[in-house]
């Protein structure tokens, strides 16, 4: 590292208690996304104040107030943003040659039962080299690290040759995305670091969504057994669709060993009947599905399998399958060249900060595609997230992050800002 790089990294490491304390403050302000509504406003007002103290231009705005966004193809209707503002803090360079956005989302998933947590979902507790609570690993650590990275540069007296937008966005969880879309439409930049990924350089994102498929008995039934049997048969039938998707995804070297390519049709919920009125004639399958297809292409593939079972087995069983009904936005496929400047610079910065190479990888069903497809520049997705099946992972009880990793992450972001 050169002297300026050493100065910035030294600042972060010497003041890492301040960084972790700041992340703890964010965790202790609940900002739960409930889907249509959310509780992000208090946390965003806190961020706006911190950006202002850093001397940034501060913009607190509703995502749906951005010009043209309501009619934008990436906009998801039906969300209420009256108490859910985005906040962007902008550093203006005296000799700007380019612009970059560092984006993370401030909303978190519901915390579940408080008794299931070791230290409380909004405690921000620091124990055994880890920090605990909602947002520790998804995604308040990113908002805190990007803020502290720019703070380190400014406090070290190092002028940048680029404008920097710190974007703390709302409504990423629950299939949202409008916060990210609003940020990149209102503040288009040359480069974007979307800081909500795994510890890799994600240069591609697979498409897909979450869908419901309903199975209904044509005539009244007095037991759920016919629908239950139909659901079992439909699950087996859709294995043909999954085989198609596996072949499609594994043909791309980036996805050959990716988890999404092994299980691109993930069944995660089955419901039969209704607790009210003893209705036994309907059931529902909920899947997460990953594909390179656009929405219309994938719907056509799904419909082929539903038409087939409706015309054959279900016809004789007195059942009908209908779908898909998408329960979140449809995420589009996206990619950026592995040698694009944003990728090369961040990987160099990460190597300097962490002392190891950052692998190239891919993402699934994330806001990354909004920045890369609609932001007008090139985007990279990276972060410190862990697989959802690991203990203390995002969306789970006892969500946590390693303090050393958060500090290294802030160092990598700061070093990226210094690279032209």
Helix or strand run (H / E) with residue 323 = strand 319-326
Residue 168 scores a pLDDT above 60? yes
Task: Read off the pLDDT of each residue in 271-276 and give the average, rounded to a whole number.
Answer: 75
Residue located via tokens 């691109």: 264
> What pLDDT digit, counting tens, does each position of 122-152 carry?
999 999 999 999 999 999 999 999 999 999 9
Q: Do residues 256 and 229 lie in contact, with contact meaning Cβ atoms separated by under 8 Å?
A: no
> What pLDDT digit, counting tens, does each position of 281-337 carry?
999 999 999 999 999 999 999 999 999 999 999 999 999 999 999 999 999 999 999
Integer-rounded Cα Rg, in Å, for the chain is 23
* Number of Cβ atoms within 10 Å of the Cβ of 135: 33
Q: Do residues 147 and 54 lie in contact, with contact meaning Cβ atoms separated by under 8 Å?
A: yes
Three-state secondary structure call for residue 26: helix
Choice between 274 and 361, residue whose per-residue pLDDT is larger = 361
Domain boundaries of the chain, sorted by first residue: 3-197+333-418, 207-326
> What pLDDT digit, counting tens, does each position of 85-105 carry?
999 999 999 999 999 999 999
Burial label for 223, CB within 10 Å (0-12, 13-18, 19+), is exposed
Residue located via tokens 């690290």: 145
Task: Read off the pLDDT of each residue in 66-80 and give the average, rounded to a whole number.
Answer: 97
207-326: in CATH 3.40.50.2300? no
CATH of domain 3-197+333-418: 3.40.630.10
Dihedral (Cα; 369, 373, 374, 379), 10-degree rounding: 70
CA distances to 30, 201, 224, 252, 352 from 108, rounded to whole Å, are: 8, 23, 36, 32, 31
Task: Read off the pLDDT of each residue in 378-384 and give the average, rounded to a whole number.
Answer: 97
Same fold for the pair 3-197+333-418 and 207-326 = no
DSSP letter for 333, please.
P
Q: Do residues 136 and 399 lie in contact, with contact meaning Cβ atoms separated by under 8 Å?
A: yes
Q: Do residues 53 and 29 lie in contact, with contact meaning Cβ atoms separated by under 8 Å?
A: no
Q: What is the DSSP string of 214-249?
A: EEEESS--SSSHHHHHHHHHHHHHTHHHHHHHHHHH
Strand segments (E) across 70-183: 86-91, 98-105, 126-127, 130-132, 162-169
Q: What is the pLDDT of residue 273?
A: 78
In whole angstroms, what is the distance from residue 49 CA to residue 62 CA? 17
Q: What is the pLDDT of residue 276?
A: 59
Residue 355 backbone phi and psi in degrees, to 5: 75, 20
């Amino acid at each position: 590292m050169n002297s300026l790089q050493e100065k910035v990294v030294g600042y972060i490491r010497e003041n890492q208690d301040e960084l972790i304390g700041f992340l703890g403050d964010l965790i202790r302000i609940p900002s739960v996304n409930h889907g249509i509504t959310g509780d992000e406003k208090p946390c965003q007002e806190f961020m706006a104040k911190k950006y202002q103290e850093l001397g940034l231009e501060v913009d607190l705005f509703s995502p749906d107030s951005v010009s043209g966004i309501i009619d934008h193809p990436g906009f998801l209707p039906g969300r209420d943003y009256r108490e859910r503002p985005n906040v962007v803090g902008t550093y203006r360079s005296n000799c700007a040659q380019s612009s970059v956005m560092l984006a993370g989302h401030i909303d978190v998933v519901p915390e579940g039962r408080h008794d299931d947590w070791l230290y409380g979902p909004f405690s921000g507790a620091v124990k055994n080299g880890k920090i605990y609570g909602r947002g520790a690993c998804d995604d308040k650590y990113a908002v805190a690290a990007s803020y502290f990275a720019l703070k380190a540069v400014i406090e070290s007296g190092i002028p940048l040759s680029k404008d920097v937008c710190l974007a703390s966005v709302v409504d990423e969880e629950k299939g949202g995305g409008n916060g990210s879309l609003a940020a990149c439409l209102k503040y288009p930049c040359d480069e974007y670091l979307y800081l909500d990924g795994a510890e890799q350089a994600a240069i591609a994102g697979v498409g897909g969504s979450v869908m419901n498929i309903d199975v209904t008995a044509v005539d009244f039934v007095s037991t759920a057994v016919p629908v239950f049997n139909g659901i079992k048969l439909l699950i087996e039938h859709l294995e043909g669709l999954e085989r198609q998707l596996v072949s499609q995804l594994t043909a791309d070297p980036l996805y050959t060993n990716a988890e999404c390519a092994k299980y691109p049709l993930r069944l995660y919920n089955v419901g039969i009947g209704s607790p009210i009125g003893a209705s036994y004639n309907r059931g529902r399958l909920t899947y997460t599905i990953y594909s390179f297809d656009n929405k219309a292409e994938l719907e056509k593939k799904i419909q082929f399998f539903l038409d087939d079972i409706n015309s054959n087995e279900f016809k004789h069983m007195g059942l009908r399958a209908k779908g898909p009904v998408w329960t979140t936005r449809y995420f589009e496929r996206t990619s950026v060249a592995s040698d694009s400047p944003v990728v090369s610079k961040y990987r160099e910065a990460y190597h300097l900060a962490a002392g190891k190479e950052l692998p190239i990888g891919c993402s699934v069903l994330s806001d990354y595609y909004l920045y890369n497809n609609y932001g007008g520049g090139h985007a990279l997705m990276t972060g410190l997230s862990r697989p959802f099946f690991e203990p203390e992972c995002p969306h789970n009880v006892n969500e946590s992050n390693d303090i050393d990793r958060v500090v290294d992450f802030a160092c990598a972001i700061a070093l990226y800002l210094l690279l032209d």
